[in-house]
Amino acid sequence: MPPAAGEPATDDPAGSGRRILLTPASQIRMRPVAWTWTDRIPSGALTVIPGREGIGKSLTLAWLTAQITRGVLPGRHHGTPRPVIYAATEDSWSQTIGPRLFAAGADLDMVYRVDVQHDGGFDALTLPRDCSQLGREIDRLGVALLAADPLLSLIHAGIDTHRDRDLRTALEPLVNMADRTGCAVVGLAHFNKSASPDALNLITGSRAFSAVARAVIAIARDDEAGDGSCVMSQAKNNLGPLDLPSLRYVVESVEIPTEEGPAYVGKLTITGESDRSVADILGDGAAGSAEDRTERDECADWLTDYLIHHGGEAAREDVLKAARAAGFAEATLKRARTRARVTTTRAGFPSRSIWQLNPAHAPSPARPVSSQSAQSAHLTEAEPTVPTEPTGALTGRSGHIPSPR
């Protein structure tokens, strides 16, 4: 007979206070996976967003925060705006974080900066020390997202983040708290300087960052696009599908009002799906020889001629078949498609991907983001937060944005 739930399996002759408790699996309630962002960011788990500097990782968190506080992100909270706790230590709240959230359209009344009162002063949130109190606040407010910018800054200074065993002492209490509360934890991470097409191997610090996380969404700038755009791809997804479409976004500089005059901050706009993934982009960097670039340019010329010959557009599967016959690999064709400014759309039922040659529709470069020193110090309290919808609509089971026509 199996022991009843919580029944001690062993005695404690040493008197240490530790007891082994065995629970039959039949008494553990099964439940489906809940998604904060459908199929991309699981609720009650840790998601890591890694990438190199200056490609909009923090703006991605601001975008997610805006989507959740407005209740428009496809997932369990769609239609129900929910609060977000935003833990950030590297940027100024008055000059950078607040203005970014405002520009993204977040409901600022539902975004909470987190500080810890300690010895008459204030300290930053620290893991694992503050996990219990943080969990109580998440329950009290019904928080849907804990945004950590970056995740590394929350780890106690005494923990060696390059040692797997040490790092887990901070991350495992965090994911246990997330599982208990149902709150999604999304933390930013940096890529190291090594060259690898595997985003998980590029995350700075111990492998525990990617091992403990249930999902990883990698970000990289696509230099082949020519418009300054970046790509986000699902690099890991333990709880859902991995073959999700990659998304392309641009970062634009926008003006917001403050009590001391206008300020300029970056705003992330998702423009549609991307045929090139982050793995493709990282692979280009790892093996970007002159010979590879020559092959890409030759393929771009071939693709342009092929589409012209077929009236300016063709089905993706037809293009792939013809490219293989011409001796071009699919990876080379994807790079060539960006080089040739070929756009994609979907048509028919069931829908299929159509590649279109439209030389007159070259994407315009995104405006550069102003430096932090150029931004004003305070947000105005008189100006309402006006939600602005991203390009396209977040629809469908996979929660992605369909390619724009």
- The answer on 179 and 223 residing in a single domain is yes
**135 occurs within a structural domain:** yes
**7 occurs within a structural domain:** no
Full domain range(s) for residue 348: 289-361
Q: pTM of this prediction? A: 0.75
**How far is C-alpha 276 from the geometric centre of its chain's CA atoms?**
16
**385 occurs within a structural domain:** no
- The answer on 268 and 127 residing in a single domain is yes
pLDDT for 285: 67
Q: Which of 247, 278, 309 is the last residue of a domain?
A: 278
Task: Give helix 290-309 / helix 316-325 axis angle, nearest 10°.
Answer: 120
Place of tokens 């111990």: 206
**18 occurs within a structural domain:** no
- The answer on 333 and 271 residing in a single domain is no
Q: Which of 243, 278, 313 is the last residue of a domain?
A: 278
- The answer on 138 and 106 residing in a single domain is yes
Q: Which of 227, 255, 278 is the last residue of a domain?
A: 278
In degrees to the nearest 10, what's the CA dihedral of 340, 279, 150, 96? 0
- The answer on 258 and 350 residing in a single domain is no
**384 occurs within a structural domain:** no
How many domains is the chain partitioned into structurally?
A: 2
Percent of the residues in the chain that have a pLDDT greater than 90, as a whole number: 61
pLDDT for 361: 42
Mean pLDDT on 182-209: 92
Lowest mean pLDDT among 13-22, 30-39, 161-170, 358-367: 358-367
- The answer on 264 and 303 residing in a single domain is no
pLDDT for 7: 57
The predicted-structure confidence for 272-318, as pLDDT tens digits, reads as follows: 999 889 998 888 765 555 667 788 889 989 999 999 998 899 999 99
- Residue 357 pLDDT class (50, 70, 90 cuts): confident
pLDDT for 121: 81
Distance CA 386, CA 335 (A): 38
- The answer on 132 and 47 residing in a single domain is yes
Q: What is the DSSP letter of 127?
A: B
The predicted-structure confidence for 66-105, as pLDDT tens digits, reads as follows: 999 999 999 999 999 999 999 998 899 999 999 999 999 9
How high does pLDDT run on average in the chain? 84
pLDDT for 15: 62
- The answer on 308 and 264 residing in a single domain is no
pLDDT for 221: 94
Of residues 46 and 347, the one with the higher pLDDT is 46
Q: Is the pLDDT of residue 18 over 60?
A: yes
- The answer on 123 and 63 residing in a single domain is yes
318 three-state secondary structure: helix
Of residues 56 and 289, the one with the higher pLDDT is 56
**284 occurs within a structural domain:** no
Mean pLDDT on 30-36: 95
- Taking alpha carbons only, the member of 251, 194, 242, 198 closest to residue 57 is 251
Catalogue the E-assigned strands of 38-95. 41-42, 46-51, 84-88
- The answer on 249 and 314 residing in a single domain is no
The predicted-structure confidence for 201-257, as pLDDT tens digits, reads as follows: 999 988 999 999 999 999 999 987 878 899 999 999 999 999 999 999 999 999 999
pLDDT for 400: 41
- The answer on 297 and 215 residing in a single domain is no
**140 occurs within a structural domain:** yes
- The answer on 194 and 319 residing in a single domain is no
Burial class (CB within 10 angstroms; exposed 0-12, middle 13-18, buried 19+) of 2: exposed
CATH code of the domain in which 328 resides: 1.10.10
